[in-house]
Amino acid sequence: MRKALNENPIVQVVMLGILGVIVAFLFMTRIMGGEEPGEPATTADATALPPVDAGAAPATPAPVAPDTTAPAPGVPAAGTVPEVAPAAAPAEFEAGAGLPESVVSAHESGDVVALLVINSKAPEDRRLEADVNALRGRSDTSLFVVDAKDVTRYSRIAEGVNLDRVPALVVIEPKRQVQGALPVATTSYGYRGPDSVQQAVRDVLYDGKELPFSPN
């Protein structure tokens, strides 16, 4: 057999063909046996998502932290007064909510009523209070001083003069000068020296005729 294989070229060709068929068969068998049909390809970088339960309730969002930059309720900003809730104005100057009995009594006695609204923590307001305290020496004037945070105690006066900032000095005319049901008041804002405070009272007490202005 070996001699025929070495000497006969026809036998050599036949053997090579048989070997080729065997190699091809083994190659195809290995390829077909290494794959499992129906298995999808996967990616190493893919991220698996958890299964979704259709009956589960939606997640509750985390609570938002409160805004701590807003001013604390009830504390007025610098130079301002707390907003006063509007109320129905009474027909007369009578004691009640927003108008203390002591103010009405002072007005009924014939005094000028002076109401000073300040920010007690402001140095300029405290200096103004010292100047305004000089009004306590007048026999025709009753002085009331209130911090801006407590101005609601005098809300009817604050509403009547549209009080919107501090320091403010409100001077109310005496009862003898009232022409209607309610007295007239003047309001001065800012720091005022002793002379200007006294002038505010003199102005509201003036009951004479207005003189024409002449530059000559």
In tens, the pLDDT along 183-206 reads 999 999 987 788 889 999 999 998
Q: What are phi and psi of 3, to 5 degrees?
A: -65, -40
Q: What are phi and psi of 113, to 5 degrees?
A: -100, 120
In terms of phi and psi (left: phi > 0; alpha: psi -120 to 50; beta: otherwise), the region of 79 is left
What are the tens digits of pLDDT across the range 19-71?
Answer: 777 767 776 766 555 544 444 433 333 333 344 344 444 433 343 333 333 44
Give the mean pLDDT of 118-130. Answer: 91
Question: Which DSSP letter does residue 164 get?
Answer: -
Structure confidence at residue 13 (pLDDT)? 65
55 versus 128: the higher-pLDDT residue is: 128
Q: Which residues touch 76 (CB under 8 Å, ≥6 apart)?
A: 82, 119, 148, 149
